[in-house]
Structure 1
Amino acid sequence: MQGTILILDGVSTNRIMLKVQLSAAWYHVVQANGLAGLGTLLRRTRPDLIVTAMTLPDGTALDLRAALQRDETLARIPVIAITPQNDRGARLCALEAGIDEVLAHPLDDMLLQARIRSLIRSHSAADDLQIQAGGHRVAGMAEPAAEFASLTLPVALDRPADVALVTALPATGAIWRARLKGVVGHNLRSYQMGNVQALMDQPVPDAVVVELSPDGSGAGLRFLADIRARSATRHSAIIAVPNPGNSHLAAEALDRGAHDVLQRGFCADELALRLAAQLARKARSDHMRNTLRDGMRAAVRDPMTGLFNRRYALPKLADMAHEAAGTGRNLAVMLVDLDHFKKVNDRYGHPAGDAVLVETARRLRVALRPQDLIARIGGEEFLIALPDTGPTDARATADRLCRQINATPFTVPGFSQPLWITTSIGVVVATPTSGMTGGANENQFSTTLISQADQALYEAKDAGRNQFTLIRPAA
């Protein structure tokens, strides 16, 4: 089954005809004749979409939408309302109330099926994204990220939207722009069909309105598919406008990835309502993606210094060892430890110690190459891995890192006198082989490298600190 659809209609023949259409497309169909007992039915069947008559025996489609909105677990279920005839006023009223689509009898089966597919696809994607952002454990975390526990979704963008109007002729774009200016507060820009490069310029549009011309060229549909595939615009809301209205073009646009269509052609008032709905959907999706990305980042980053943490560094080191084994090149591993750091905390307080750690991270990072790994793996201990680095270069890098720390004193907020800090570094250089890093050996080999670097670090400490020690390569 492709999903569950609830049909609401007080006329049994209408329900039967719709059930036949939808069952033939392998949907599981549930029926009801009105709003009575609807809450229980919805919680039991969990429909992916509702198709309802505009007028029901005990209410209207607008009453249905209002009832759904009162329950946050049901509020996002998409709703298609069916009207007995094409009534522009009723359609606009329904769209303004939050109904996703309004279709008129006689129903065009191709458009109905395309609209159902599009809405279920969008609803499922939003559900999946919210599950990831709100409940999944992230990147090996032992518990869900705290910031995901309560996810409040925005209802609109927090700024005027950037909307691109893409038409076959510049004159059409100018007309649409002039008509929309009176009903929306968005930033409107016009583009001629095919000029994708101009569309990619900053700012990338929040929404793209694409004209579809029934001239047989398919330029609008190709343009639509193009911007849906590009990384810069794949999250933009896309609304297709057949010009003039054409239900088959509208259906194809939905199947090509348009989020919404104006099947009857351009109408400024209707486009304004559909833009508002799609921009609200985009705001929710963007918020959930940002929440998920921030959670993923928090799972692998040290919040104080911004460096990678131990959770990320150890598997990454194993990957670097595996890559070195494949190329036969050296891999240098260092453990960096600030000397007498406990005295800093004891004498100046933990805020001062934190400031020293942040500045240490900055100094180490700027002294390394982009391909090098640096992570904070303990209180004042840092792990560094240098691919394609032999003993000579490793010594030079370790010496440079020591001087990065000890050559310039640390300025600590609240204290007039700067602090002089030194560091000790343990270095090991290895040339991994496939036998060392294959399968279960990868983690063991990484652990061995860290242990040997730790041994070298203790030798540097025992030798008087403020220096590095390189031990012989790992065997």
Structure 2
Amino acid sequence: MTARVLVVDDNPSNVKLLAARLAAEYFDVLTAANGAEALSVCAAGECDIVLLDVMMPGMNGFEVCRRLKADPDTAHIPVVMVTALDQPSDRLMGLEAGADDFLVKPIDETALLARVKSLARLRATLDDLRSRAARAAKLGISGAACLSQGEEPSGRILVVDDRRSACEAIVNALKPHYEMELEPDAAEALTEGAAGGYDLLIVSLGLSGYDGLRLCSQFRSIEATRQIPILAVAEPEDRARVLRCLELGVNDYILRPVERAELVARVRTQMRRKRYVDCLRQNVEASLEMAVVDALTGLHNRRFFDGVLPSMLEEAKRKGRPVSLIMFDIDHFKTVNDLHGHEAGDRLLQGLATRIKSLIRRSDIFCRLSGDEFVILMPDTRVDVGAKVAERVRAGVAGAPFFIGKNRSIAATISIGLAESGRCGADILREADKALYRSKEGGRNRVYFDVASPQAAPRAPGFRVVRAG
């Protein structure tokens, strides 16, 4: 996976070396000689990943990273510190500034490419979610405000390690901040991870009875854990396995002996990003839901109906089961708008939708097609049963007035047409529309359907059924 990588260093030789290594792997490389230039490039949205030298005149790398992470427009850009400083305190300072990782000079080319490729995958996911959320916002579909990557999130963590002393040290370091669970058995961890609603998985690559890399791969292949970040714990000499785990989709790693402060900082980074990604994903899902929901009534809209009807009819045909469809509109609805105003008409539509939802079955699908025109899809339902539902709906609407504001209420009735797929196949909507027209012709406030066989005509008290012909 390629990406646009910004190399920030005041030493031209270092810039050329990094640029050549990255370009050889088909990354697009941009360069900046100081912190101010780097901030300008990032603010313009011209890069996907930043390789940031620490020791620069004027504004050092730590300050540049802090500014990037403090700005909502650039906080999502992954940052890797490139430095000759290799003390735990230096790593901690960078992680607390928001850096995703450290590469120590002289840079190992394999480690550089593994980390950049891993971050490129992360950035691609973020870009996709951000783009969808932005498109939804332009359409007026606003989601929840996402947690800033600078805020402190809570969460649940599962630690998978069969070395008791090592895992207890991890648990004790994180317990003041997070809800911790420990699982030494890899097979149990897979089950627990899928069912437990965790926000982070910490996996030892040195499990004695199981391949830690395989466990990470399995977590990534299971739907329930695919999006949960993974922090691998490895031995310093286990370099090849560390690089391999990044290729498998592990988000970050830490080497033993585990520095308590570095562990907390790396976990905090993963938790913040998880919350941010979750919020973006929820906003995208909400926008998709809103695209098929009528804003006024909260019912499914015409787009949803047009999508679900063909698949429902196809499934019904394959299984030999009927589908019934109720189509109705409000009698003389235009008069309501003309006499009482459109706000009163909207209140009537909302009240009617709420009342009818309480009268139909859980399995029925209630949609607003347009204006005052509605449909109710009833799977696994023959027309005689559908007629009973339709009459219950008609009587429920006519049985009590609707509040339209300012202590005013109005009575309303509906005319209903009914059809069954077993009689008209894919033309069920057209047949229901024809039946609705007959209902209006017959005097309104009634249910009409074409009774093709005697058993289809219910004789319950109060039913308004008009036979064809």
Q: TM-score, normalised by structure 1?
A: 0.80
141, 145, 149: which one aligns with 2:140: 145
Within the candidate set 154, 160, 163, 1:160 is matched to 154
1:353 paired residue number = 348
Report the number of matched residues.
448
Listed as ranges, the gaps of 5+ residues in structure 2 are 453-467
What's the counterpart of residue 463 of structure 2? none
**Alpha-carbon distance in 1 for matches of 2:404, 2:22:** 68
Closer, same or farther: CA 152–198 of 1 in aligned 2, 3 Å? closer
Structure 1 residues 200 and 413 mapped into 2: Cα distance closer, same or farther (>3 Å)? Answer: farther
Match of 1:101 in 2: 101
For residue 131 of structure 1, report the CA deviation from its aligned partner. 0.5
C-alpha separation in 2, matches of 1:452 and 1:330: 15
- Tell me which residue corresponds to 1:11: 11
Matched, 1:375 2:367: yes
Letter in 1 for 2:10: G
Q: Distance in 2 between matches of 1:179 and 1:94?
A: 19
Per the alignment, residue 295 of structure 1 pairs with 287
Instruction: Please tell me whether the aligned partners of residues 83 and 102 of structure 2 are also in contact (alpha carbons under 8 angstroms).
Output: yes
- Residues 323 and 351 of structure 1: CA distance in aligned 2, closer, same or farther (over 3 Å): closer
Determine the C-alpha separation between the residues in 1 that align with 2:390 and 2:162.
Answer: 62
Contact map agreement 1:156 1:279 (CA 8 A) in 2: no
Separation in 2, partners of 1:164, 1:282? 15
Shift of 1:10: 3.2
Greater Cα shift, 314-323 or 163-172: 314-323
1:468 to 447, 457, 463: 447
Aligned to 1:440: none
Q: Distance in 2 between matches of 1:213 and 1:160?
A: 27
2:377 alignment partner in structure 1: 385
Letter in structure 2 aligned against 1:174: E
Distance 1:423 1:264 in 2: 73
* Structure 2 residue identity aligned to 1:113: L
Instruction: Decide whether aligned partners of structure 1 residues 228 and 376 sit closer, same or farther in structure 2, where only a CA change above 3 A counts.
Output: same
The residue number in structure 2 matching 1:317 is 309
Paired position in structure 2 for 1:47: 47
Q: Distance in 2 between matches of 1:11 and 1:450?
A: 72
User: Aligned residue for 1:308?
Assistant: 300
Residue 420 of structure 1 deviates from its aligned partner by: 7.7
How far does the alpha carbon of each residue in 1:435-463 deviate from its partner, in whole angstroms, 9 at most, with x for none?
x96xxxxxxx5xxx434323322322443
Match of 1:82, SS? strand
Q: 2:205 aligns with which of 173, 194, 212?
A: 212
Q: Percent identity?
A: 27
In structure 1, what is the Cα distance between the partners aligned to 2:36 and 2:289? 47
Deviation track 1:370-405 (CA, whole Å, cap 9, x = no partner) reads: 2x4321224543202334544444434434544555
**Compared with structure 1, are the counterparts of its residues 431 and 7 closer, same or farther at alpha carbon in structure 2 (3 Å cutoff)?**
same
Structure 2 vs 1, CA of residues 174 and 471 (structure 1 numbering), >3 Å: closer, same or farther?
A: same
Q: 1:391 to 1:44 in 2, by over 3 A?
A: closer
Correspondence for 1:128: 128
Structure 1's 402 and 432: CA in aligned 2 closer, same or farther, altered over 3 A?
closer
Which residue of the other structure, out of 436, 440, 446, is the alignment partner of 1:457?
436
**Equivalent residue number for residue 189 of structure 1:** 181
Counterpart contact for 1:324–1:431, Cα < 8 Å: no
Partner Cα separation in structure 2 for residue 54 and residue 63 of structure 1: 9
Inter-partner Cα distance in structure 1 for 2:277 and 2:297: 29
State whether residues 210 and 224 of structure 1, in contact with CA within 8 Å, keep that contact through their aligned partners in structure 2: yes
Cα deviation per residue 1:131-174 (whole Å; 9 max; x = unaligned)? 1011258xxxxx713426x9665336776311222212344322
**C-alpha displacement at 1:116, in angstroms?**
0.8
CA contact (8 A) 1:245 1:264 kept: no
- Structure-1 residue corresponding to 2:420: 429
Post-superposition Cα deviations, 1:404-457, rounded to whole Å, max 9, x if no partner, equal 556x75796999999986543211234589xx96xxxxxxx5xxx434323322
Instruction: Determine the C-alpha separation between the residues in 2 that align with 1:154 and 1:27.
Output: 29
How high is the TM-score relative to the length of structure 2? 0.81
Instruction: Work out the CA distance in 2 between the residues paired with 1:240 and 1:432.
Output: 61
Q: Tell whether 2:228 aligns with 1:236.
A: yes
Aligned to 2:243: 251
Q: Measure how far apart 1:330 and its partner are.
A: 4.7
The alpha-carbon distance between structure 1 residues 136 and 254, as it changes in their structure 2 partners (threshold 3 A), is: same
CA contact (8 A) 1:245 1:262 kept: no
TM superposition shift of 1:22: 2.0
Moved more, 117-126 or 391-400: 391-400
- What is the match of residue 269 of structure 2? 277
SS of residue in 2 equivalent to 1:147: coil
Matches of 2:410 and 2:134, distance apart in 1: 44
Secondary structure at the counterpart of residue 183 of structure 2 = strand
User: Among 185, 196, 199, which residue is 2:193 paired with?
Assistant: 199
For residues 216-247 of structure 1, the C-alpha deviation after alignment (integer angstroms, 9 at most, x for no partner) is x6622222222223232223222111146633
Structure 1 position 193, deviation (Å): 3.5
CA gap of 1:50–1:361, structure 2 versus 1, over 3 A, is same
| Contact 2:136–2:284 (8 Å) recurs in 1 | no
Q: CA deviation at 1:11?
A: 3.3
* Cα RMSD (Å): 3.7
